[in-house]
Amino acid sequence: MTYSSFLKAEFLVLWRRKQDVFNALLFFIIVVVLFPIGVNSSPEFLAPAAAGIIWCATVLAVLMALESTFKEDHRDGSLEQLVVSGLSLPLLIVLKIIAQWLVVMLPLLITMPLLAEMLYLPSSGFWALIGTLLVGSPSLFFIGVIGGALTVSIKQGAMLVMLLILPFYLPVIIFSTLAVKAAQAGLPYSGFLAMLLAMSLLSLVISPFMTAIAVKASVNA
């Protein structure tokens, strides 16, 4: 196995699982739609709340997608092959997350103009929202994958992953919504983006090692 053959196989598997990716996207849209219908559909409520709604839906969709990151690999033994491949496990995990990020986040980003319009998000806030999603979402993946790795050997892991990981997402959600609010008020928001970037980098440094520990412990459970 080499890093490139690993990455190629990852993309192939994700391509074969495109329905799962599509389901995550649908889930995301449905969660977003719940708010205008369930809470309040007036522009006065939705415009300031839009960023928060979109971020909460993103977080849930990402966690749903991440829960199954290692499940199939664990079942068929290919996760064990990664552990004993002689390649660096943290690096393999980074590659896996990059593949997942591209496949899950790009469709979400593409639906953003439509959803922003439906939630009456003004264009001043829209670009800030896209910025926070681009800069902040990698940290969602890097943190969330730790939960996915810890629960691979558990049958019903999705709920547990939510319970474990959602608290860690709070800062990302807070920084992002504050950034969009600042943009909507015409204030500078690059400080918040810098903080999101810092969180993404910090999680990039720490999470692959933590995930590798979790994967190693999980293959034998």
Partner 1 sequence: MNWAWFHKLGSPKWFYSWSKAWALPVFCFGCLCLVIGLVWGLAFAPADYQQGNSFRIIYIHVPVAMLAQSCYLAMGIAGVVFLVWQMKMSPIFIKAMAPVGAIMALIALVSGAIWGKPTWGTWWVWDARLTSVLVLFLLYMGIIALQNTIDDVLLANKAAAVLSVVGLINLPIIKYSVVLLETLHQGPTFTLTKKPEMPAEMWLPLLFSVIGLYCFVAGLVLWRMQSEILLREHRSSWVKQEVTENGL
Partner 2 sequence: MQSFASLTISDLWIERAERDLCKGLSFSVQSGDVVRILGENGAGKSSLLKVIVGALSPEEGRIAYSGEDVTLDRSILQQDALYIGHSVGVKQRLSVAENIRWYCPDVCTNVLHEALKSLELIDYMDTPVKKLSAGQTRRVALARLWLSQKTLWLLDEPFASLDVKGVELLEERIQQHALAGGMVILTSHQNLLSLASRDVMLLP
Find the angle CA(161)-CA(126)-CA(52) to the nearest 5 degrees: 35
117 binds, among ligand ADP, partner 1, partner 2, none (CB under 5 to 8 A by kind): none
Interaction mask 189-208, partner 1, x per CB under 8 A: ----------x--x---xx-
Decide: is 158 part of the binding site for partner 2 (CB under 8 A).
no
Host H or E run for residue 67 = helix 43-67
Separation of alpha carbons 84 and 78, rounded Å: 10
Separation of alpha carbons 66 and 99, rounded Å: 12
Output the 3-class SS for 68-114. CCCHHHHHHCHHHHHHCCCCCHHHHHHHHHHHHHHHHHHHHHHHHHH
Region near partner 1 per CB under 8 A, out of 67-75, 104-112, 123-131, 153-161: 153-161
47 binds, among partner 1, ligand ADP, partner 2, none (CB under 5 to 8 A by kind): none
Closest approach, Cβ 216 to ligand ADP, in A, equals 14
Nearer to partner 1, 7 or 197 (CB): 197
Nearer to ligand ADP, 137 or 151 (CB): 151
Separation of alpha carbons 30 and 107, rounded Å: 15
Is residue 179 a contact partner of residue 131, using CB atoms and an 8 Å limit?
Answer: yes
81 binds, among partner 1, partner 2, ligand ADP, none (CB under 5 to 8 A by kind): partner 2
Interaction mask 181-220, ligand ADP, x per CB under 6 A: ---------------------------------------x
Q: Return the C-alpha torsion angle 73, 74, 80, 86, nearest 10.
A: 40
Binding site for partner 1 (CB under 8 A): 143, 146, 150-151, 153-154, 160, 163-164, 166-168, 170-171, 174-175, 178, 199, 202, 206-207, 210, 213-214, 216-218, 220-221
Binding site for ligand ADP (CB under 6 A): 220-221
